[in-house]
Amino acid sequence: MNRKILASMLVLAAVGFAAAQGVDPVKVELGKTLASFFGSSAIAAAIGLGLAAGGAGIGMGLAVASFLQGMTRQPELTNKLLPNLMIGLAFIEAQVLYVLFIAILLIFANPFTAQISKLF
């Protein structure tokens, strides 16, 4: 049996059971909408954090590789290159921390929850 058909039948059965027990179908629909909304928020946070961490890893690897190449070509400039490398790595890592902060907001303190609940 097709998964979409099976999922649709299960949702209709759940709404039917809820209606038979005296539960308001609007509240059931609101619950499904909020669950979908929070699920989408969690997926978006995970994808965003994964992309940010992957990009930062690549960027840090390229920065360290360039530093090492510069250090091997001109060892006397190591003391001038090292502070610039550290500042660059800090800026790259700060981007990941910003994405982490936004991901935590999306998961635990979503600012759009009030607007979604007002729809019903």
Residues of the chain with pLDDT under 70: 1-28, 30-31, 115-117, 119-120
How far apart, in whole angstroms, are the C-alpha atoms of residue 27 and residue 15? 10
> What one-character DSSP code corresponds to residue 1?
-
Q: For the chain, which domains are there?
A: 24-118 (1.20.20.10)
The pTM of this model reads 0.64
Taken as a whole, the chain contains a residue count of: 120
Q: What is the pLDDT of residue 34?
A: 72
Joined together, the tokens standing for residue 114 give 């009030």
Closest by Cα among 109, 118, 113, 104 to 34:
113
Of 100, 98, 95, nearest in space to 60 by CA: 95
